[in-house]
Each structure stands twice: as C-alpha cells, then as structure tokens.
Structure 1
Amino acid sequence: MIINKQYIFKNGVIALAMTLFFSCKNNFKEVNNIGVSENEPQGVGIDINAKRTDSGRVVANLMTPKMLDFENRKFGYSECPGGYYFRHL
C-alpha cells in the first residue's frame, strides 16, 4: 500500500487542529486579573474636588488631597487617607 505525502500532511494538520481546539479553555477573567492585586487600589486620585449637583444646583462639595479607589474588590469602596473636607450646601 502506497501512502502519499498529501494524505500524511492532511492527517497531521487535522491532528494538530484537534489538539489545539481541545486544549483551549475560557479563562478571560484570569487574564484580566493578571497584574492586578486585590490589596492595591484600582485608581488613585490627587487633589480631588468633587461637586454633587441636583437640578443644576450644587448641593455638596467634597475636597481631598488623595483618594484611593478600591472598586476591584467584592464590596467596592473609596478611601481618603489624607482626610477630606465635605461641605453640604
């Protein structure tokens, strides 16, 4: 029986494709978390001056020298380690 090169090549490509197809898994969340530590903030803000408005009128003002954003945790929160000044108008 003579086996030609095209037959061997075709079977080799099919075997390789099947190996690659079954070795893949869905790990998108793991890839997104590479380099992200849960103990470090997701964002850091310097000299924040946030104004809260209601119907176009300023009703509150929050000023802080530094704000850390921990929204990457299960229960996300923001922290102002340098203290803050909050004025309700």
Structure 2
Amino acid sequence: MKRTFKNTINFIVTIFIVTMLFSCETSLKDVQKFNQSSFVPSGEADSINLKYTDSGKIKSILKSAKMLDYSNIKNAFTEFPNGLTVTMFDENGNTTIIKANYAISYKKTDIIDLQGDVVINSHDGKKLETNQLYFDQKNEWFFTEKTFKYTDEAGGFLQGPGVDFSKDFKVFNMQKSSGEVNNLN
C-alpha cells in the first residue's frame, strides 16, 4: 500500500508540474505574439486645433477630434480616425475648407489620404465631393480614381471617375466625365 500511495503522489505531482509548464509556455507564447503584433501609437491627442504658419501668416488650420501619431514605426504616419476639417488660406486670405470622415498622412511621401464623404468648398463657390481623395502636399495637388462630383458657383457640374487638380482649382484634369458647364471664362 505504501508503494501505491507513493506512486499516486508522484503521478499527481507530475501532472501538476506538466500542467504548470504548459500553462507557462502558452502564456509566454501569447506575450511574444502580443509584442510582435502590437501596434500602438507613440502619441495621441484629442480635440486638436493645429495652425500651420509660414513667415508669420497662417497658411492652414487643421481641426480633429482625435489624432494618433505612429512616428515610432518604419513607415511613419499620422491617423485621424474621427475625421478632420482643414481650412487652407491663399495669399489673399481666401479660404478653402476640406472635410473628411477619416484621414491618414504618410510622413515619407507627404501624401494625405482623405476618406469618407470628402468635401472641398472654395471661397468662390466651387465644391468637390468624393469618397476618397489624395493630397500631395509637396506639389499641392489633389487626385482620385473614385467617382467625383464638382459644382461651380454658376450651377454647372461635372462628374465621373478619376480627377486630379491643383489646390486652387485652376488646373483640372478628368479621365471620363459628364456634366453641364454654364460659364466658360
């Protein structure tokens, strides 16, 4: 009976140790997996109101409910998960207002990807609407392959897939479009 009792105790202890080792190994693997796939911002801001100035003049104002900064990764970017509103000023103080439900700005390329109900309103009544629009900050150029609708101050409109244009709407290139132009100046 002593031998059986001793065998039973050894068996229970062995099972306990094996269970502990497997439990620790699983936890260790989970921690390693978490560290590999962890994707957290290096900075986070709520209710931002950022003013960009050049030579003492305000060039643009960016407002957003939330900003996430991922400058701690190889291809750094800034994300605006709750959308943004940007007011741009030209040399005469005229404004162009850009709104989007979501945006991401890539630091290496200086490209901003605007998504979800993107609307641009210029001071002179021009309006562009689309679901996605890119802005090349270096060249001050907008472009998209998505369907767009452009309306002007005279009530004319253009629509279709794919457009690119300068930030002041002076140069406007379309792939395929249809519409009605009321005023050709």
* TM-score, normalization by structure 1: 0.57
Provide, for residues 37-88 of structure 1, a one-character-per-residue CA deviation record: whole Å limited to 9, x for no partner. Answer: 7511111101111101010010100000000000010011100000000010
Q: Which has the higher strand share?
A: 2
Aligned to 1:8: none
The question of whether the paired residues in 2 share the 8 Å contact of 1:60 and 1:87 is answered with: yes
Aligned to 2:51: 51
Quick one: distance in 2 between partners of 1:58 and 1:51? Answer: 7
How many residue pairs are counted as aligned between the two chains?
A: 54
Q: Which runs of 4+ in 1 moved over 4 A?
A: none
Quick one: distance in 2 between partners of 1:72 and 1:41? Answer: 7
Q: Which has the higher helix share?
A: 1
Residue identity (%)? 37
Q: Which has the higher contact order (CA 8 A, sep 6+)?
A: 1
| Unmatched runs of 5 consecutive residues or more in structure 2 | 1-34, 90-185
Aligned to 2:81: 81
Quick one: distance in 2 between partners of 1:53 and 1:68? Answer: 22
The 5-angstrom pairing of residues 2-17 of structure 1 reads: none
The question of whether the paired residues in 2 share the 8 Å contact of 1:51 and 1:58 is answered with: yes
Quick one: distance in 2 between partners of 1:73 and 1:38? Answer: 11
Quick one: distance in 2 between partners of 1:38 and 1:66? Answer: 20
* TM-score, normalization by structure 2: 0.28
Cα distance change of structure 1 residues 72 and 38 upon mapping to structure 2, 3 Å threshold: farther
Aligned to 2:40: 40
